[in-house]
Structure 1
Amino acid sequence: MKRLIFVSALSLFSFAAFSQDDAVSKALVDGFRKEKEKSDKDVTDPKASAKASFWMERAKLYENIASQASGVDSSAAKTAMEAYKKVVELDVTKKGEPGKSSKEATSALTAGEGTQLFNAFVKQGAEKYQAKNLNGALEMFTLAQDINKKDTLASLYGGIAAQQLDKKEEAKKSFEAYAANGGKDPSVFYGLAQLYRAENNFDKAIETLNTGLKQAPNNKDLKAEIVNILLASGKEDKAIQELEALAQSDPKNTQNLVNLAILYDNMQRTANDSIKQMSSKMGTGNKSAAAMTKNLESEKGKIEVYDGEVKRISGLIKKQPKNADLKRQLADVNAKKKETLEAIAKMEGEVSAAKASAASSDNAGMEKQLADLKAKQADASSKAMTNYKKVLEIDAANYDALYNLGVFYFNEAVILKGEVDNMNMTEYQAKGKEIEGRVCGKFKKAKPYFEKAIQAKDEAEAKETLGIVNGVLEQFASKNVACVEE
């Protein structure tokens, strides 16, 4: 899966507030080291560690280390958090209510006004990210989110770190928090949608993109990705609606027009394939009935033969009434005639059923479906052509439009040639030459588009197809077929 890159992420690590310890005076660092050593030692002192005041001092010390001298302790913010929690635990009045220090600590743990613990976590998370310690960075950004649940900064960068670690669930959780808290960066919504798309959760992906569009209504990437996801989820008609809207709002955007043309082109090709399948299925039913009728007539022809044999053998028996062999022959012929009559009766029923099936309501329904498919194919074909030409009106050297238009006419030629290939000699003599002229015309119409496509971009696919077109046109020329362009 493509990694999400945020340009804005770079700014996080360029803030002066997030500079490394080389900008901090040595005296300050040394002072923090000494205070840290003393505090760490006093943690093991039962008297000191029993006082809320000790933990408050320790919390503020580590908070300052995190904010001003991370080189002393790269995870100082975590120690500060634990110390503040200890203050809340110890500073309780006789009535069981929070004391003054407890309230101050609670404020720090919930990002109250004027507190710095949240910023300390974000800073140390950024530093770990810079040092490529992504797991450490993610931990810091996650804890920062726990402190300030309404923030967008920590959720943004926590999501980035999680995604780079391929921790998809954590990435989604962070990006969702970013969105819920009013984050506006379109790339976050795009990246979150990609995470859902990778799970085939297309509805959630589109919902995410639409949420992003509320924050950035004119963002082209979010709009285009909605189309891509609709296509990936098989909702081609909806994708076309979205692209039509994009093309209308931004009529000079050739990529939208190319994509729209390609969608209509694909739609007409799919419809054409369905037309072939349905026509074949309907034709099979009619051919089956015709073949069965032919077999029936052949079987009926046997009766005449048997009747002739019965007449001949009966005449011989009259002359030789005691001839046992003749009597046996007559019995065999009558038995075969009886079997044939039974077979004819069965075949007549089958022929009748086959004819009824060919003319049934199901077949009538297929005729309606076939008509609808042909209308859909014609409409999609017209719209594909219109949009390809719109692209070329804006950019006459657009490779995609040129190549696809060439393919469009090439495929029309192939389909038309299929009609000629399926003709018998009588049909070919009647109209084969005329259709071959139209086939030649389609190939001739495709040729300049491939030539211009090659001029726009030297691609092998265009050159190979142009070679095929030239070869076909040479064959038509050798057969003296006149190309008829429609």
Structure 2
Amino acid sequence: MKKLFFVSALTLFSMSAFAQDDAANKVVVDQFRKDKEKSDKDLSDPKSSAKASYWMERAKLYENIALQGSEVDSSAAKTSLEAYKKVVELDKTKKGEPGKSAKEAENVIAGGEGTQLFNAFVKQGAEKYQAKNLTGALEMFTAAQEINKKDTLASLYGGIAAQQLDKKDVAKTQFEKYAANGGKDPSVFYGLAQLYREEKNFDKAIEALNMGLKQAPDNKDLKAEVVNILLASGNESKAISELEALAQADPKNIQNVVNLAILYDNMQRTAADSVKQLSAKMGSGSKSAASLTKNLEAEKGKIEVYDGEVKRISALIKKQPKNADLKRQLAEVNTKKKETLATIATMEGEVKTATEAAASSASSGSEQKLNDLKAKQKDASDKAIANYKKALEIDGANYDALYNLGVFYFNEAVQLKGEVDNMNMTEYQQRGKEVEGRVCGKFKKAKPYFEKAIQAKDEAEAKENLTTVNGVLEQFAGKGVACVEE
């Protein structure tokens, strides 16, 4: 995440608007101290503190201290504001309307043209920030906004201070004010989007970025972050659309092309997983029915055995009608036959249920869904490869494009090898060698991309994959399998 930093403009407010040499400044500061002591002393005088004129003098004194002599009182702007409010309270005409001094004080409090109280708060806020008093700085910047509600400076600095204090809700409010008042700094909109992203409010994050793009339509960071947030929110299709537009607008920007390839790559992997799961689910129904049918036939085969035993024992009993052991054997066989017939009835029900479930799966659209997933996987695969190759046309040594394209073909080889592993002996004899040749071809296709990736950047992951590929190719060579590249 990008961090917002307090911009250098703050340092401007650390200098007096009336720059003087050190000696002259000392004289001014010393006078401020004397005047402050007198004003503070008169504060406890009931007669003085009851007059609007006293409060007006105090307000202007502390305002000047804030602007020119913060070493006398680092929070003088606050005292000045309180004094101006007191003037408004005390200076009333006989009709109860604001007097001349009250109107002047109201104009200052409202940030009227030519007034300096707003600057006094911002300056002392900047000084507190530089002194690492972030809480005090935020207080000053917030007060400044009350004086000039349309200003962007105090809301910008207030948001930065709040962010560093980890007061995220306050930071959002401050940055929202900055945006509403026409602020243009792209980093503010980026930072605001991050604050919303952290709380998974993706709609507000996108809204913040779009506000920033209105102010800075060509800002690449804001555009890229729109894509990142769309991905974080699970809106992959919209992210691809946005990235397609970025790649089209700036076709030489290799990062956009690589990111687009990665998105399509991720999409095809997700589709491949879904294909595998659905295929297994559909196959399990038919396999279950077949397995149960096989078991049922085996159980029915027992009846023939029992009938043969009944016939044999019955014939012996005719010859030996008083033989108790033969009678016992006949009873046992009849009992087992009866139990088997009951088992057969149960199994026939299970076979019927499994067969109906398999038929239901086929008729419920699973077949069509599987075909759609396979088409989606194929489309995403083609686009992933096309964009990886387009990136390599821009920069043939781009590590991400080289490595990911190698992984793409590597994974295809692994998936195809799974077919061979699942073959029975008959299937392998029929087409095992042919499929192995294609598997070998996929691994061979991946090899040069890993080699070039290592040349571009010496990364362990590429080295490990290359070692695996070389080992597999050696095994195929040892078996006499000819690699077939498609």
- Distance in 2 (CA, whole Å) between partners of 1:351 and 1:194 is 57
Residue in 2 aligned with 1:406?
406
SS in 1 for 2:5: coil
Task: Provide the rounded CA distance (Å) in 1 between the counterparts of 2:405 and 2:260.
Answer: 13
Distance 1:45 1:272 in 2: 85
Give per-residue Cα distances to partners, 1:266-314, cap 9 Å, x unaligned. 1111111111111111111111111111111111111111111111122
Distance (Å, rounded) in 2 between the aligned partners of 1:474 and 1:22: 82
Question: Secondary structure at 1:476's aligned position in 2?
Answer: helix
Corresponding residue SS for 1:92: coil
| Separation of aligned partners in 2, 1:403 and 1:18 | 57
Cα distance 1:375–1:22, how it changes in 2: closer, same or farther (>3 A)? farther
CA contact (8 A) 1:192 1:205 kept: yes
Deviation of 1:21 after TM superposition, in Å, equals 8.2
Q: 1:362 to 1:429 in 2, by over 3 A?
A: closer
- Cα separation, 2, equivalents of 1:352 and 1:59: 94
Could you tell which deviates more after superposition, 29-38 or 298-307?
A: 29-38
1:13 aligns with 2:8: no
State the shift of 1:18 in Å.
Answer: 5.0
Q: 1:227 — aligned with what? A: 227
Distance 1:376 1:276, change over 3 A: same
Q: Secondary structure at the match of 1:200?
A: coil
- Which residue number corresponds to residue 128 of structure 1? 128
Cα deviation, 1:309-364, whole Å, max 9, x if unaligned, reads: 11112212222233333233223222222222222222122212211211115664
Between the aligned partners of 1:196 and 1:168, the Cα distance in structure 2 is 9
Question: Compared with structure 1, are the counterparts of its residues 358 and 441 closer, same or farther at alpha carbon in structure 2 (3 Å cutoff)?
Answer: same
Q: Against the structure 1 CA distance between its residues 270 and 22, is the aligned structure 2 distance closer, same or farther, given a 3 Å change threshold? A: farther
2:180 alignment counterpart: 180
Tell me the CA shift for residue 158 of structure 1.
Answer: 0.7
Q: Percent identity?
A: 80
The letter of the residue matching 1:203 is D
Could you give the per-residue CA deviations for residues 127-173 of structure 1, whole angstroms, max 9, x where no partner exists?
11122221221111111011111110000001111111111111111
Structure-2 residue corresponding to 1:422 = 422
SS in 1 for 2:46: coil
1:436-451 superposed matches below 5 A: 436-451=436-451
Q: How does 1:43-122 map to 2 (within 5 A)?
A: 43-122=43-122
Aligned to 1:345: 345
**Tell me, which stretches of 5 or more residues in structure 2 are unaligned?**
none
Matching residue's letter, 1:10: S
Gaps of 5+ in 1: none
Q: Distance in 2 between matches of 1:21 and 1:191?
A: 38
2:324 maps to 324
Aligned to 1:383: 383
* 1:430 to partner: Cα distance: 0.8
CA contact (8 A) 2:257 2:387 kept: yes
For 1:453 and 1:3, the matched residues in 2 are separated by: 32
Instruction: Provide runs of 4+ in structure 1 moved above 4 Å.
Output: 15-24, 361-364
Q: CA deviation at 1:61?
A: 0.9
Where 1:154 maps in the other structure, the secondary structure is helix
User: CA–CA distance in 2 between the matches of 1:274 and 1:421?
Assistant: 20
- Helix, strand or coil for the counterpart of 1:240? helix
Alpha-carbon distance in 2 for matches of 1:137, 1:442: 62
Whole-angstrom distance in 2 between the partners of 1:342 and 1:21: 110
Measure, in 2, the Cα distance between the counterparts of 1:123 and 1:347.
88
The answer to whether residue 294 in structure 2 is matched with residue 294 in structure 1 is yes
2:282–2:361: 8 Å Cα contact kept in structure 1?
Answer: no
* Aligned partners of 1:3 and 1:163 also within 8 Å: no
Secondary structure of 2:423's aligned partner:
coil
CA–CA distance in structure 2, aligned partners of residues 32 and 126 of structure 1: 21
Q: Is the 8 A contact 1:399 1:456 kept in 2?
A: yes
The residue aligned with 2:484 is 484
* Residue 46 (structure 1) shift: 0.9
- Identify the residue that residue 144 of structure 2 maps to in structure 1: 144
Go from structure 1 to structure 2 and tell me whether the alpha carbon gap of 1:18 and 1:289 turns closer, same or farther (over 3 Å shift).
farther
Letter in 2 for 1:300: K
Letter aligned with residue 131 of structure 1: A
What is the CA–CA distance in structure 2 between the aligned matches of 1:180 and 1:248, rounded to whole Å? Answer: 31
SS in 1 for 2:182: coil
1:83-113 superposed Cα distances (whole Å, 9 cap, x missing partner): 0010011011121111111111111111011
Q: 1:188–1:465: structure 2 CA closer, same or farther, 3 Å change rule? A: same
Q: How far apart are the structure 1 equivalents of 2:397 and 2:389? A: 12
Is 1:303 aligned with 2:288?
Answer: no
Greater displacement, 408-417 / 25-34: 25-34
2-structure distance, mates of 1:345, 1:30: 109
Task: Return 355-364 or 467-476, whichever deviates more.
Answer: 355-364
CA distance in 2, matches of 1:34, 1:334: 122
Corresponding residue SS for 1:248: helix
Cα offset for 1:11? Answer: 2.2
Task: Give the Cα separation in 2 of the matches to 1:282 and 1:363.
Answer: 11
Name the TM-score, length of structure 1 as normaliser: 0.96
The range that moved more, 10-19 or 53-62, is: 10-19
CA distance, structure 1, for counterparts of residue 238 and residue 265 of structure 2: 16
Q: CA RMSD in A?
A: 1.6
Q: Secondary structure at the match of 1:25?
A: helix
Report the Cα distance in structure 2 between the residues aligned to 1:21 and 1:175, rounded to whole angstroms: 36
2:367 is aligned to 367
Question: 2:274 and 2:89 mapped to 1: Cα distance?
Answer: 73
Per the alignment, do residues 156 and 21 of structure 1 end up closer, same or farther by CA in structure 2, a change over 3 Å counting?
A: farther
SS at match of 2:9: helix
- TM-score of the superposed pair, with normalisation by structure 2: 0.96
Matched position secondary structure for 1:483: coil
Counterpart for residue 283 of structure 1: 283
Q: CA deviation at 1:203?
A: 1.1
Q: Name the counterpart of 2:199.
A: 199
Please report how far the alpha carbon of residue 5 of structure 1 lies from its aligned counterpart in structure 2 after TM superposition. 2.4
C-alpha separation in 2, matches of 1:454 and 1:329: 78
- Which amino acid is 1:374 matched to? K
Deviation at 1:114, TM superposition (A): 1.3
Q: Is the 8 A contact 2:14 2:123 kept in 1?
A: no
Q: How many Å separate the matches in 2 of 1:356 and 1:44?
A: 96
Summarize deviations over 1:185-216 as a string: whole Å, max 9, x none: 11000001111111111111111111111111
Q: How far apart, CA to CA, are the structure 2 residues paired with 1:232 and 1:18? A: 47
Counterpart CA distance in 2 for 1:294 and 1:21 is: 103
1:51 corresponds to which letter in structure 2? Answer: K
- Separation in 1 of the partners of 2:296 and 2:166? 71
Structure 1: distance between partners of 2:12 and 2:65: 20
What is the rounded CA distance, in whole Å, between the counterparts of 1:190 and 1:130 in structure 2?
A: 24
State the Cα distance separating 1:76 from its structure 2 match: 1.0
1:396 CA displacement? 0.8
